[in-house]
Amino acid sequence: MHLVYAHRGSSGTYAENTRAAYLQAIADGADGIECDVHLSADRQVVCHHDQTVDRTSNGSGRISSLTLDELRGLDFSGWKGRDLPAAYGTVHEQLLTLAELVHLAAGAGRPIGLAIEIKHPSEFGRDLEDAVLETLDGLGWDAAGSTIGPVDVSFMCFDAGSIRHLAARVPAAALCQLVTRENPGKIQELRDCGDRLGAEVAAVVYGSARDGVPVIEAGIAGLAGPGVAWVREHHDVVERWLRAGTRLRVWTVDEDADIGFLTGLGIQEMTSNHPDHTRRVLEHGGARP
């Protein structure tokens, strides 16, 4: 069976990491939802992708420099250009804390996965991971099975150090090491143009194969999370992992050709911006319906 995770919610339809995107993902029948987490200035675990709010809101600044109340005052949905149905909340209800997203997932009325991507580098260091676990503990997280009621929780990161840190409390089956191709030229380009933060983020992301593949092959992470391009370039490695019993959660899978390719390999999980479309294609055997 192939599982489809909604990438930052149904982010092809509504603004990523918003209440609307997650409610739409549930309505679309996604098997799981994926979120990104940071700590706000007042150490609240919030769902947002970038280190700054500049790209996805009408504000500016780093997530870590803004309090939850300040973040609530921003519009995180307007940039998408889609009207919000009343049932999906107001503009200022779109930013979610991790706890709010867990409650939303638990209300889906069916078992559902929640994949939490921990974003590094973080000014809070490993306090970010610890705050995530503390939040989940407060919601009744069963560490042994990594569940909260009907919600199956997994943790993802490009930073291999994060996965190693989480492994002290989280079973390997719930840990996903993200992997993408190396791109040292991009890191240097960002440094050259003075984007220090961008270069730091890129160094983590583009160093993930070097540092993360050993984490997967040592069994510390029971889930491997490569991008589609990495799978195409390293299908021999992927096939070896599959033979060894490693589950793969591949991102970001929106194109029919990629869905068919991954289905043929036997990939178990796919993350998509359009989970409804990816699910329909899979139901037709990986071919366009």
Strands (DSSP E) found in 48-197? 112-118, 147-148, 151-157, 175-179
Alpha helices for 67-183 (secondary structure H): 68-72, 98-106, 127-138, 160-166
pLDDT at 285: 81
Gap between the Cα atoms of 85 and 20, Å rounded: 8
With cut-offs at 50, 70 and 90, classify the pLDDT of residue 287.
Answer: low
Select 3-51+97-283's CATH number: 3.40.30.10, 3.40.1190.20, 3.30.590.20, 3.20.20.190.
Answer: 3.20.20.190
**Could you say which of 7, 38, 120, 274 is catalytic?**
7
**Could you say which of 2, 38, 48, 49 is catalytic?**
49
H-helix or E-strand spanning residue 224: strand 223-226
Q: In this predicted model, what pLDDT tens digit does every residue of 124-154 receive, in sequence order?
A: 999 999 999 999 999 999 999 999 999 999 9
Q: In this predicted model, what pLDDT tens digit does every residue of 83-133 receive, in sequence order?
A: 999 999 999 999 999 999 999 999 999 999 999 999 999 999 999 999 999
pLDDT at 174: 98
pLDDT at 265: 96
Query: What's the mean pLDDT when you consider all of the chain?
Result: 97
Query: How many residues make up the chain in this entry?
Result: 289
Whether the full predicted model's pTM is greater than 0.75, yes or no, is yes
Domain boundaries, the chain: 3-51+97-283
In 3D space, the residue among 262, 222, 237, 125 whose CA is nearest the CA of residue 181 turns out to be 237
pLDDT at 289: 43
Over residues 246-260, the mean pLDDT reads 98
H-helix or E-strand spanning residue 203: helix 196-206
CA end-to-end span of the chain, whole Å? 18
Percent of the chain surpassing pLDDT 70: 99
Is 48 one of the annotated active-site residues of the chain?
no
Over residues 243-247, the mean pLDDT reads 96
Q: In this predicted model, what pLDDT tens digit does every residue of 3-57 receive, in sequence order?
A: 999 999 999 999 999 999 999 999 999 999 999 999 999 999 999 999 999 999 9
Is 120 one of the annotated active-site residues of the chain?
no
